[in-house]
Structure 1
Amino acid sequence: MGELVFTEKQEALVKESWEILKQDIPKYSLHFFSQILEIAPAAKGLFSFLRDSDEVPQNNPKLKAHAVKVFKMTCETAIQLREKGKVVVADTTLQYLGSIHRKSGVIDPHFEVSF
């Protein structure tokens, strides 16, 4: 795989987006997950906090917490790519994330939902 290049403009866009997202995480997380489920309805079963509901619950604290982690990690990754040219995540964090996703049955194609 070739080296990933992340421009200053791309980093700035992600940082700007994070500043907007963190102002209203519940609103944006609901929108984000609603879009995923509209594009890939079967993905709902992969989220333990969505699996047993008929819709994406607006005030679901687990949805909010998950979205914060996803949005924050995306922002931190953008900064690392720009500053270091690579992403460094603690081994324990990667192991934990991998084990959770594996237990949930998540596979590579599940990450390819396009907007």
Structure 2
Amino acid sequence: MKATIWHNPRCSKSRNALQLLRDNGYEVDVIEYLRDPPTRATLARLYASAGMEPAQGLRITGTDAVARGLPNASADEVLDAMAADPSLIERPLVETGKGVRLGRPTEQLQEIM
């Protein structure tokens, strides 16, 4: 079984999600998204697959997302902002053959495992 995780090793939720995948036998492609950010097109695909609006994947804590008006911005504006500044991407995003989920809380990953 394979999975891809858009990961921040400094984030406990992201580390927990990675461990959960490994504990369940997944071969995990780990992408440190702050160093190797996804493209706008990749983000759009991931959120569409997860059944989420891009604003639902917006990281608020520790960012200037609210000051920039991003929580109420259009999907295109949010995707553009995330592509330009990957710190705005909430983590971890996980993709398996069964779909994509934001691993907050980590239990949501059970839906795609």
TM-score (norm 2): 0.31
TM-score (norm 1): 0.31
Higher share of residues assigned strand = 2
Structure showing greater radius of gyration is 1
Task: Work out which structure has the larger RCO, using CA pairs closer than 8 Å and 6 or more positions apart in sequence.
Answer: 1
Higher share of residues assigned helix = 1
